[in-house]
Amino acid sequence: MIRRVAAPARDHVLATSLADEVAFRIQAAILDGEYPPGTHLQQDDLCVRFGVSRTPVREALRKLQAQNLVDLVPNKGAMVSTRTRVELLEVYALRAELEGFAAGLAARHVTPESLAELSAAQDAITGAMSQLRPGRMSPEDEAAFNTRITVGNERFHGVVHRLAANARLTRTLEDLQSYFPKDYVWRAIGDSPEGHVLSVGEHDQIRDALAAGNARGARRTMSSHIQHAGRLLIAYLDRHQFWSQ
């Protein structure tokens, strides 16, 4: 059944990276349960909500389609995708095994240059986490923070994938990662100590294992890291009653 949500009050965005910011706002509304699975996202309603024209809204919806949060249906428009809890559990179970496998392979090919890349990516993540203020950030600041975390995580894990030197494995991981916006985990953990452990402490452990050429340790710590992220994300979605019935 298609659900419709009445157009809410205006929630203006800044004119910088407009489509990305609109996409982030819609993503947040979806994952917070404001737009449940099956909701028909009316472009006119979104234009009113964000005070923008149709062009950035259309681009934002295409970005969300690439993240598997929105389906663009011919003659019907945009609808919030239906995702089940079981599917996400399966994705994270696979990711934990394959990301761990990739880290184990990567430990055999580490170079000083690749370690420097990992450190630079982690510095960016640590810097972003130090500025996280849940409930006290403007929507623009939240969108900018999400971008910083996303870019830092992609850089960090991208180095590991490249060092694994297995093209098919990398393609499989990219497909699994695209199933759901993984970097939304930060919204679930806020600035709690657990958030620092996940985003900083566990990445440091992975980097240390790689630096030591410890394939078994790298595989174990990476797998545990992905499992931890999955538990936090699923618990957050549970609390917000995200799942379709």
68-109 confidence digits (pLDDT tens): 889 998 878 899 988 889 999 999 999 999 999 999 999 999
CB distance 50 to 13 below 8 Å: yes
- Tell me which CATH code domain 85-239 carries: 1.20.120.530
Integer CA distances (angstroms), 59 to 7, 26, 66, 69, 123, in order:
19, 12, 11, 14, 31
CB distance 218 to 206 below 8 Å: yes
For 17-138, where are the alpha helices, taking DSSP H only?
18-31, 43-50, 54-66, 85-106, 112-130
pLDDT, one tens digit per residue, over 18-46 is 888 898 889 888 888 889 888 999 999 99
Distance CA 68, CA 62 (A): 10
Q: What percent of the chain has pLDDT over 70?
A: 87
Distance CA 49, CA 225 (A): 37
pLDDT band at 216 (very low <50, low <70, confident <90, very high): very high
Ranges in the chain annotated CATH 1.20.120.530: 85-239
pTM of the model: 0.80
pLDDT band at 212 (very low <50, low <70, confident <90, very high): very high
Ranges in the chain annotated CATH 1.10.10.10: 3-80
What is residue 183's predicted lDDT score, i.e. its pLDDT? 62
Neighbouring residues of 194: CB distance < 8 A, sequence distance ≥ 6: 232
pLDDT, average across residues 38-58: 92
H or E element: which one contains 230?
A: helix 215-239
The CATH number of 3-80 is which of 1.10.274.10, 3.90.226.10, 3.40.50.300, 1.10.10.10?
Answer: 1.10.10.10
Q: Which residue has the higher pLDDT, 187 or 227?
A: 227
**What mean pLDDT is reported for the chain?**
85
**Total residue count of the chain as it appears in this document:** 245
Residue 15 has pLDDT above 50, yes or no: no
pLDDT, one tens digit per residue, over 112-149 is 999 999 999 999 988 888 877 766 777 777 777 778 88
